[in-house]
Structure 1
């Protein structure tokens, strides 16, 4: 759950403890619905036309295809980008510690990617290894549909650990046409028709001078989207009955733990959800990694996830790409942030054994059985009942045993996929438009690859 409504369609998640919404909503309203296409295998299952474009750089050829200054591509079972011969040395003053240090660096700039869906929003995600003494910076530069360009926006300064720099998003970035809101680049006024037509990404890899250490970036991607404004979405037809055996963890049993990482409880839905799926895929933390956690705390791995997804600028654990990057620090896992267009797409993933972490916001009365309302919350979708209802591991539960929930399909798909809603005061505010995190193996099976490709994610 999160702190406040941003001035954007984007709903920021899990920032600080927010009181559950209990008051009523304003009158129902119907918004424009997305055009639909027909599933050739089952014409009765209409699905929305795609409003999302994903581009990922993951292969040896990809890394050799960009513009490198001081970096180089490495081959192998998991190709990546590393520092080769540093391009130079630069000072960085960490705004969260006040410390200034010199760092050797190398850069890599992607080719221009023309978005198949001219985008109102763009989210960048990455998978990397950053051993002690290293960190990375991720930037994006877009070209608008009017022919002008954005500046280079910093989307993150990131390290898996926190001993060298404090991982951080960067506030106060805008050119009067677009603005960076924590982890999302958004057009300021999408009603004008202005969109991002293309973009480039830039990586800067850093290491301490005099060492041979290097970050390794395995995956870099950008998701551009233009989800239409809508209060309701078309109803989907159930097509799957399956439940995945995903561990269950409650965020609420951590209430009051580690104020320096946003105090546990309601603020930890994102890392708690991440840890569930990481462990589903076999990711485990060692006793040594967990030694810093108070031994009296249950499920110390959830505390660890909170610490290592924490964004020191945002002051919370709900930075979407930071969670995906954390998942990818576990052996043989990848993580991406994307948007899906329907429950049919989510069923495609579940059928292949891939659970998803979804973002939604709703009033208490809009989701039967939840018992709360929220301005933004993460859940882990683990399956569907025979009637098509959604089976979710909802971390906003009093205990681990209470985490498994079944939510009505029609209610759930609407609170997840809409982009507009009424809050408790009757004010029109943003919805999340189908945002989700997907974590999956570095070498997915044929069925998993097919499912990911079907929802627009390159493997």
Structure 2
């Protein structure tokens, strides 16, 4: 069986669900299955432009113009002491904040997942928070969605457990309404960035993308089948997580659980980026594909105790030269076909019993793989890292089976009990200068 600590998150969300001044309207909602008249299930809103940054609340930060606009510390707003729960060290940090305008979502949401792309030089880090307004007008507190640094020498990147207001909770990287059946939804939200640096330092984090995916995907064991439309295969590097079993067990027990960083690394290299020899100097030279070990280390969430934090994987990808990355949801394999047709592979998250996915040879409570194409019959060509070696990574899975296990939100596990599914969660990575076709298809999903 493929193991993943995403299992813990899925089980927690399933248990919870079983219990009982606006920003400019530039976000796009993704319609369910692309069918006219069907209410949208997903909306993406990202702040990326110089105008976006200027319209936010700038407290000690300044907006930076240019090809990649962002925010940096200008004059610190103050200083604070931070006790890192994973190192036990207390250190002083200067900080400044940027707060987004309130965004009223076109999709009143049961779940929200934030993403960010940033540079954090040594001696800097950042925190991302979310505050929202429920459909009955009550405000949430500020919830921490992640404390993040590209490296691990200053702080340990971490999610924050135990956050709840009695109506919603943060499950690692996901804001989730505790009882979606009550009809309560998150109707609006804003994000806050806090940028930190060592006192007196001149360096600053730079954030050039922050935003969120809001969704209201209904509970469902099955989803409508989509009809095949294209046949194309992208040439993507193949890496097996299983060749790393036992390596660096401090990062989620080693390669057996590295599906997410292994998938991320395949797509980073598809776009022509990879870590340098200096970056990989810490890896045992006896290990093949050391870049997979590197990806595991630098996506590792010290609270979640795993490499499967979705926004941390996207943030890791964006540390590579001129790459952008987000976490979102898609509504069907038709959406994936459109992306693949434009040359963009899609990293997907799913869970299934062994007999539910013909040819997989395993079952999993949470697993990431990459869709790289479609056969002439419409079946899914996937780079599946849960393979015995690199040549075996390319798999062909039956379209109907694959689409259902990816898009459903409810499933029966191996014990016959009801568990959760991800409802179409995926990562999208693309270059700073996409082709016109890539730009159009991303914009169609509200990703700009």
Change (3 A) 1:89 1:212: same
Counterpart-to-counterpart distance in 2, 1:234 and 1:280: 31
Determine the structure 1 residue equivalent to 2:210. 220
Change (3 A) 1:87 1:37: closer
Superposed CA deviations along residues 253-278 of structure 1, whole A, max 9, x for unmatched, are: 00000011112222100000000000
CA contact 2:251–2:297 (8 Å) conserved in 1: yes
Determine the structure 1 residue equivalent to 2:345. 355
Q: Secondary structure at the match of 1:102?
A: strand
1:264 equivalent to 2:254? Answer: yes
Q: Secondary structure at the match of 1:397?
A: coil
Determine the structure 2 residue equivalent to 1:193. 183
Superposed CA deviations along residues 166-223 of structure 1, whole A, max 9, x for unmatched, are: 0000001000000000000000000000000000100000000111010000100111
RMSD of aligned residue pairs (Cα, Å):
1.5
CA contact 2:33–2:334 (8 Å) conserved in 1: no
Counterpart-to-counterpart distance in 2, 1:423 and 1:215: 43
Determine the structure 2 residue equivalent to 1:384. 374
Map 1:278-289; keep pairs closer than 5 Å: 278-289=268-279
Counterpart-to-counterpart distance in 2, 1:398 and 1:264: 15
Counterpart-to-counterpart distance in 1, 2:194 and 2:294: 27
Counterpart-to-counterpart distance in 1, 2:333 and 2:181: 27
Counterpart-to-counterpart distance in 2, 1:394 and 1:437: 15
Determine the structure 1 residue equivalent to 2:19. none
Determine the structure 2 residue equivalent to 1:170. 160
Counterpart-to-counterpart distance in 2, 1:105 and 1:278: 31
1:306 equivalent to 2:306? Answer: no
Determine the structure 2 residue equivalent to 1:346. 336
Map 1:294-443; keep pairs closer than 5 Å: 294-443=284-433
Counterpart-to-counterpart distance in 1, 2:15 and 2:390: 30
Counterpart-to-counterpart distance in 2, 1:37 and 1:82: 39
Determine the structure 1 residue equivalent to 2:238. 248
Superposed CA deviations along residues 338-393 of structure 1, whole A, max 9, x for unmatched, are: 00000000000000000010001000000000000000100011000000000000
Q: Secondary structure at the match of 2:12?
A: coil
Given candidates 7, 14, 31, the residue that maps to 2:12 is 7
1:293 equivalent to 2:298? Answer: no
Determine the structure 2 residue equivalent to 1:28. none
Counterpart-to-counterpart distance in 1, 2:410 and 2:288: 38
User: How many residues are aligned here?
Assistant: 429
Counterpart-to-counterpart distance in 2, 1:48 and 1:255: 45
CA contact 1:36–1:49 (8 Å) conserved in 2: no
Deviation at 1:7, TM superposition (A): 2.1
Counterpart-to-counterpart distance in 2, 1:451 and 1:35: 16
1:448 equivalent to 2:438? Answer: yes
Q: Secondary structure at the match of 1:276?
A: helix
Deviation at 1:37, TM superposition (A): 5.0
Given candidates 63, 66, 80, the residue that maps to 1:76 is 66
Superposed CA deviations along residues 2-47 of structure 1, whole A, max 9, x for unmatched, are: 2434221499xxxxxxxxxxxxxxxxxxxxxx976547xxxxxxx9
Unaligned segments of structure 2, at least 5 residues: 17-30
Determine the structure 1 residue equivalent to 2:26. none
Counterpart-to-counterpart distance in 2, 1:36 and 1:415: 16
Counterpart-to-counterpart distance in 2, 1:147 and 1:165: 36
Q: TM-score, normalised by structure 2?
A: 0.94
Unaligned segments of structure 1, at least 5 residues: 12-33, 40-46
Determine the structure 2 residue equivalent to 1:145. 135
Question: Which contiguous aligned blocks of 4+ residues in structure 1 show a shift greater than 4 angstroms?
Answer: 34-37
Deviation at 1:231, TM superposition (A): 0.4
Counterpart-to-counterpart distance in 2, 1:288 and 1:48: 51
Superposed CA deviations along residues 290-332 of structure 1, whole A, max 9, x for unmatched, are: 0000000000000000000000000000000000000000001
Deviation at 1:456, TM superposition (A): 2.7
1:93 equivalent to 2:70? Answer: no
CA contact 1:10–1:184 (8 Å) conserved in 2: no
Given candidates 97, 110, 115, the residue that maps to 1:125 is 115
Counterpart-to-counterpart distance in 2, 1:10 and 1:409: 30
Determine the structure 2 residue equivalent to 1:18. none
1:58 equivalent to 2:48? Answer: yes
